[in-house]
Structure 1
Amino acid sequence: MQKRKIYLIIASFLLAIVIGAVIVFAASDQKATVTNAPTEVVPSETDSSENPDEDPTVSEEEADNSSDIKDAFQRLLKDTLGLFIKEDLHITAVGDSLTQGVGDETENGGYVGILQQTFEQTDDRVKIDNFGKRGNRTDQLLKRLNDPVISASIENAHVVLITIGANDIMKVTKDHFTELDYDDYSAAMPAYEERMKEIFDKINTLNPDAEVYLIGFYNPFEENFPELKDQLGTIIDEYNAIGEQVTEEEDQHYIETADLFRNQTGSLLSDDFFHPNEVGYGKVAERVLESIKPVIQEDDE
């Protein structure tokens, strides 16, 4: 138990550094996201015909990442073109920085932006509203669901996508930084579960016909901080299990992402070692599209 406590104290120190970096980055970010209105996804101005390998200023790693994201985009496009998508499909995305797309160096909106760009390549009319906000916890998202613009978007949505929960874990770390123990995380789980239920209940009240998908989170410390892998992995798994259980009880959907990042965080995370890079978001976008296919397809006549 003492060894476990020591590891968790180390984890809290590293997470506090991440929190501080996020706060500083947020304060200096001149492109603040409007949180009570849909975020416009702006297509990249980069010519897709350019070969990064021919540019001497592009590193080998950047070229590999560019190739990976293009491959992911092509797979998404292929899958999307094969669908008969419902007319005027409306998707609403809410949640934290993973919905906002923090870490996506292309500044195209993370997995939500990749989905938007993919649908734009088809003849289908798909509207996607992105209400992701960096740092959001479950209690903060609950309050934001009362925003008239967000609630109106959910009321008209066929699909609602959610990323939430990672910042709830980070709050426990901050609140018990000096004497952190696994029991602190465990004690916070019942209230976390209750807030998750309230989020789903609120969305169901706004739109009982919407299909809601909770996107699970991953362990960002697997490769960069292997000494924390097991300890934090256990905590993340338990919080994810709560989210999955709530979706089952609400007759909704859970999308796992932990397996996508397992043993690959070194190549799928951004420079902050916490958020996905564009390649990581590409993998999430593929998984999300695969999961929502049965819902967004037009019914056979």
Structure 2
Amino acid sequence: MKKIVLTFISFVILTGCLQQQSSTLTTNSISLDTKVQPPSSFIPKTIKVVAIGDSLTEGIGDESNQGGYIGMLKEELEEEKRIKEVELTNFGVKGHKTSNLQKKLKEQKVISSLKEADFVIMTIGGNDLMKVVRGNLFSLDYEPFRLEQKNFEKNLKDIFTTIRKHNAKAEIVYIGLYNPFKHMLPELTEIDEIISEWNMSTQQMLQKDKHSIYVSVEDIFISESEEMLLSEDQFHPNSKGYSLIADRVLEKMKSESLFVDIR
């Protein structure tokens, strides 16, 4: 009888201990750390660049066949941490003036590219200016340049309006004019002043658009020591000249923090 009683008491005590242990175990919570996802800004992205304009954008004069400043810029951009890849579409055409670019922007393939662009990079206006230079080379006068400048400004404003019609947020990067006659015809100092006036009017136009920047390159080709930056035709940059333009564009894009809000 005593054995039975002792066995029963032991069973009750053991059962109570197990229940208490079980109760303790069920109340313990398990904490799992939630994995923090990196901000989207840290993930390299593919960007779409559309290049438009004249022979400089086409890359005429680049003996290295790297595609001129725009091809070199593409390589430099792809070295940036925020950029995984650059999808470049180049619509630059030798000889194009602002009037030609206006027509080019009406082509469906150009429109489609503009709609998808993150950046629109352009050189235009050099042929508008040179048309007047060639027509007044031996009787240089400011008046024909001032008249042509009005046409240039009107056409350029229409070009910017057209781009914005198809894409309101793309960053427009306009590369300014330079004087290719600096070393060939150094006595024509008036051209420097005329080019500065044209560039200034373009800068003022771009300042009205918060997604547009102006890149000055005229100083690159000003000093006599920089004569070797032009190609054999003494008009277009050579590979070294294009490389300096690409560096200047990238520097300006960085200073304006254009990579921060890449979509």
TM-score (norm 1): 0.66
Residue 97 of structure 1, CA deviation: 0.6
Residue 86 of structure 1, CA deviation: 5.3
Aligned residue pairs: how many?
A: 216
Paired-residue identity, %: 38
Distance 1:119 1:202 in 2: 26
- SS of structure 1 residue aligned to 2:207: helix
Aligned to 1:89: 47
Residue 205 of structure 1, CA deviation: 0.6
Q: Is the 8 A contact 2:77 2:250 kept in 1?
A: no
Aligned to 1:261: 221
Distance 1:280 1:174, change over 3 A: closer
Distance 1:163 1:202 in 2: 16
Residue 217 of structure 1, CA deviation: 1.4
Distance 1:120 1:258, change over 3 A: same
Distance 1:240 1:211 in 2: 19
Aligned to 2:249: 288
In the alignment, which of 170, 184, 189 is matched to residue 210 of structure 1?
A: 170
Residue 223 of structure 1, CA deviation: 2.6
Does structure 1 residue 154 correspond to structure 2 residue 114? yes
State which drifts further: 190-199 or 287-296: 287-296
Q: Could you report, residue by residue, the CA deviation over 1:49-104 in whole angstroms, capped at 9, with x for unpaired residues?
A: xxxxxxxxxxxxxxxxxxxxxxxxxxxxxxxxxx9685121111100011011110
In the alignment, which of 197, 200, 208 is matched to residue 238 of structure 1?
A: 197
Residue 249 of structure 1, CA deviation: 2.3
Larger radius of gyration: 2
TM-score (norm 2): 0.76
Distance 1:204 1:280, change over 3 A: same
Q: Is the 8 A contact 1:95 1:141 kept in 2?
A: yes
Aligned to 1:111: 69
Q: Which runs of 5+ in 2 are unaligned?
A: 1-40
Q: Which has the higher contact order (CA 8 A, sep 6+)?
A: 1
RMSD: 2.2
Q: Could you report, residue by residue, the CA deviation over 1:209-231 in whole angstroms, capped at 9, with x for unpaired residues?
A: 11101100111222332112x11
Distance 2:259 2:111 in 1: 21
Q: Which runs of 5+ in 1 are unaligned?
A: 1-82
Distance 2:141 2:228 in 1: 30
Does structure 1 residue 172 correspond to structure 2 residue 135? no
Distance 2:109 2:252 in 1: 26
- SS of structure 2 residue aligned to 1:249: coil
- SS of structure 2 residue aligned to 1:88: strand
In the alignment, which of 87, 95, 117 is matched to residue 127 of structure 1?
A: 87
